[in-house]
Structure 1
């Protein structure tokens, strides 16, 4: 049986939030749990799709006014994450979850649904959403696109451009901008700190406390960005080998 489960403050400790569900005692998991509990009152929705009681994927979305992406807009829902894993792919589960979001946006009289995609990694690829009627309305370096499904003539959302100007403020060593929206960020930050220490690279970590901070991040992915000597090094968690390679190429 296929079932979509709404995650709430009342059932989140029982159901979890899908990511890192095998490591509920880890710092990243606990950070994300606290982050979610602070977001539900802002209208955040988290839905997990289960098959015979086994989780296969999830969708997380929030009113765009509270979105943790470098996006500006009014009266849209913005999808943070849509993820189907392993053998769950190819069964229509992603479409079920996406339709849940679209139908809720209509019930709430929103002007549409938006999300940030990337042709690289970590964020969703746009092709699935284009097949469901989304259109690309804005681009940002290095590989981001802002997609939207519109229901009315409300103004389009847009990226918070000005990336180069913001990045240039961080030209000395490594600067990490981080949040707790993704539970994998905690381990990623530890990895970067270790490598910086090994290479004697100055490093500092800047914590995003709210969605307004994320709205003016150094890249469109507001929740995690790594700047090295005034250039965007990565916007997603990477392992040590990948980090060494990026530093050598910078």
Structure 2
């Protein structure tokens, strides 16, 4: 749902584009989050989200992207925060622990990933 808009100054130049990747999913089971320190809230909330997931018996993985290469090869375009469940992309929304717990509870009850409301 991202759209790249560009105003070309040089008509001979290549058109800008998002890097083409083979994957838009994570290989990890449970909850996987890719993030950068661009937003301090994204970094600060991770431990709370980890505690919620672990309390529900859900594996939790968080990967901080610290280099340009890591960000360009991440399975998400917007690397500030990307949440996956069972390898499927769920959202870029940085959730509070309460919202995450509600979403995870609903998910485990219904066993089908949905975008948080």
**TM-score, length-normalised on structure 2?**
0.76
The answer as to whether partners of 2:26 and 2:32 remain within 8 angstroms in 1 is: no
Quote how far apart the aligned CAs of 1:156 are: 1.4
Q: Hey, what's the Cα distance between the residues in 1 that align with 2:33 and 2:92?
A: 10
Q: Hey, what's the Cα distance between the residues in 2 that align with 1:232 and 1:166?
A: 7
Q: Write the deviation string for residues 119-153 of structure 1: whole angstroms up to 9, x where unpaired.
A: xxxxxxxxxxxxxxxxxxxxxxxx21112122112
**Does the alignment pair 1:202 with 2:24?**
no
Q: Please list every run of at least 4 consecutive aligned residues from structure 1 whose deviation after the TM superposition is greater than 6 angstroms.
A: none
Unaligned stretches of 5+ residues in structure 2: 108-112
Structure ID, larger Rg: 1
Residues paired across the two proteins, number: 106
Unaligned stretches of 5+ residues in structure 1: 1-142
Q: Evaluate the alpha carbon distance shift between residue 168 and residue 197 of structure 1 in structure 2; reply closer, same or farther with a 3 A threshold.
A: closer
Q: Which of 227, 233, 237 is equivalent to 2:90?
A: 233
Quote how far apart the aligned CAs of 1:173 are: 0.7
> Which position in structure 1 is the counterpart of 2:37?
180
Alignment of 1:1-250 (within 5 A): 143-153=1-11, 154-162=13-21, 165-170=23-28, 172-247=29-104, 248-249=106-107, 250=113
Quote how far apart the aligned CAs of 1:196 are: 0.6
> Relative contact order: is structure 1 or structure 2 higher (C-alpha 8 Å, sep ≥ 6)?
2
For the residue of structure 2 that corresponds to 1:175, the secondary structure is strand
Quote how far apart the aligned CAs of 1:166 are: 4.4
For the residue of structure 1 that corresponds to 2:7, the secondary structure is strand
Quote how far apart the aligned CAs of 1:233 are: 2.1
**TM-score, length-normalised on structure 1?**
0.39
Q: Write the deviation string for residues 31-59 of structure 1: whole angstroms up to 9, x where unpaired.
A: xxxxxxxxxxxxxxxxxxxxxxxxxxxxx
The answer as to whether partners of 1:181 and 1:223 remain within 8 angstroms in 2 is: yes
The answer as to whether partners of 2:31 and 2:60 remain within 8 angstroms in 1 is: yes
Q: Aligned-pair RMSD on alpha carbons?
A: 2.0
Q: Hey, what's the Cα distance between the residues in 2 that align with 1:243 and 1:218?
A: 21
